[in-house]
Structure 1
Amino acid sequence: MSMLATLWEKTNGLPMGKKIFSTLYAQKAPYFTTIHGTVTELRPNYAELHLPKRRAVQNHIGTVHVIALCNGAEMAMGALAEMTVPSDKRWIPKGMEVDYVGLSKTDMTVTAETDPEAWTSDDPNVHVRIKAVTTDGTECLRGVIKLWVTPKPPKK
């Protein structure tokens, strides 16, 4: 079990556990702290995060900036990848394609999702589907984060 999975298991049932988990997880990539995201659901092949609409992540028209949504998508993808990657493999993102398809006028729910067989295939390309929706269900962002998943090198 990965360190992130262990941390999720230990904190998830605690009062404020999801917030504690998210604060600690955000330290792994400090730019995650800029969006104040909270991981609300995490399991192999799926991650969900709450991204609050606040002034620090808004653009000039008062909606959540697309780059903040991309940061949320990357935070969700990273949690999913750590929860899902087989213990004999490693991953690294190699690209992101997004479409900004709506106005993000409220808090957002950002999700990342993969197919289980993608992680066991001989193909090192794993595509993580991402999306962000408003509190009323309006889709604002959709896309794919492309991962490169390879065997871990032998220990020296």
Structure 2
Amino acid sequence: MTTSPIKTTYEALRSRPLGRRIFSTIVSLKAPYFRTIRPAIISLEPGRGVARMRDRWGVHNHIGTVHAIACCNLAELVAGTTIDYSLPESHRWIPKGMNVAYLKKARGTLTAVGTIDGLDTLQVGEARDVIVAVDVTDRAGVVVVHADITMWVTPRRAS
């Protein structure tokens, strides 16, 4: 089976000086649209991932707060890296849908935490939807955006 490049690269870099910054840059180069928010991946572990986005002019909307779609971008980034890191090597994923609730005006540095439950019951050969729940919080820990991102998980093709 193929080991996830996300998992392999994160494990190789996470404890090195500037390793997480380098990893975040690599992810943004692989999926260039993520560069628009300049994300920092803080941690990845089975079932949980954390990423951060600084508040800066380039992610603002017309009223000076962090744009809703920038928040969605952060949520999708943490959901994708978390599921990629968490899935067994026998499976792959692709985003299928996203339900988002904008709960408060987003200001300041934002932190997204993605969590996945139920992957331990995924069977070899099984295909199904998996929900990655993401809370995006401000510096005070207030949830400003909640997203449930549906990933279509399928077995990898035999090589």
Residues 48-83 of structure 1 deviation map (CA, whole Å, 9 limit, x = unaligned): 001000000001111110100100011101111110
What's the CA shift for 1:116?
4.0
What is the match of residue 91 of structure 1?
93
Counterpart CA distance in 2 for 1:27 and 1:127 is 25
Distance 1:86 1:116, change over 3 A: same
What is the match of residue 143 of structure 1?
147
Distance 1:118 1:142, change over 3 A: farther
What is the match of residue 137 of structure 2?
133
Amino acid at match of 1:143: A
What's the CA shift for 1:27?
1.4
What is the match of residue 119 of structure 2?
117
Counterpart CA distance in 2 for 1:27 and 1:117 is 28
1:76 equivalenced with 2:102 (yes/no): no
What's the CA shift for 1:152?
1.5
Q: Percent identity?
A: 35
- Match of 2:7, SS state, is helix
Amino acid at match of 1:52: R
User: What are the within-5 Å matches in structure 2 for residues 37-116 of structure 1?
Assistant: 37-116=39-118
Displacement over 2 Å in runs of 4+: 116-119
Counterpart CA distance in 2 for 1:133 and 1:109 is 5
TM-score normalised by structure 2 residue count = 0.92
- Contact map agreement 2:135 2:146 (CA 8 A) in 1: yes
What is the match of residue 8 of structure 1?
10
- Contact map agreement 2:136 2:144 (CA 8 A) in 1: yes
What's the CA shift for 1:128?
0.4
Counterpart CA distance in 2 for 1:118 and 1:110 is 23
Name the count of aligned residue pairs: 155
What is the match of residue 20 of structure 1?
22
Gaps of 5+ in 2: none
- Contact map agreement 2:83 2:116 (CA 8 A) in 1: no
What's the CA shift for 1:123?
5.7
- Match of 1:86, SS state, is coil
- Match of 2:78, SS state, is helix
Counterpart CA distance in 1 for 2:39 and 2:47 is 19
TM-score normalised by structure 1 residue count = 0.94
Amino acid at match of 2:128: P
Counterpart CA distance in 2 for 1:63 and 1:151 is 41
**Mean alpha-carbon deviation: is it higher for 66-75 or for 12-21?**
12-21
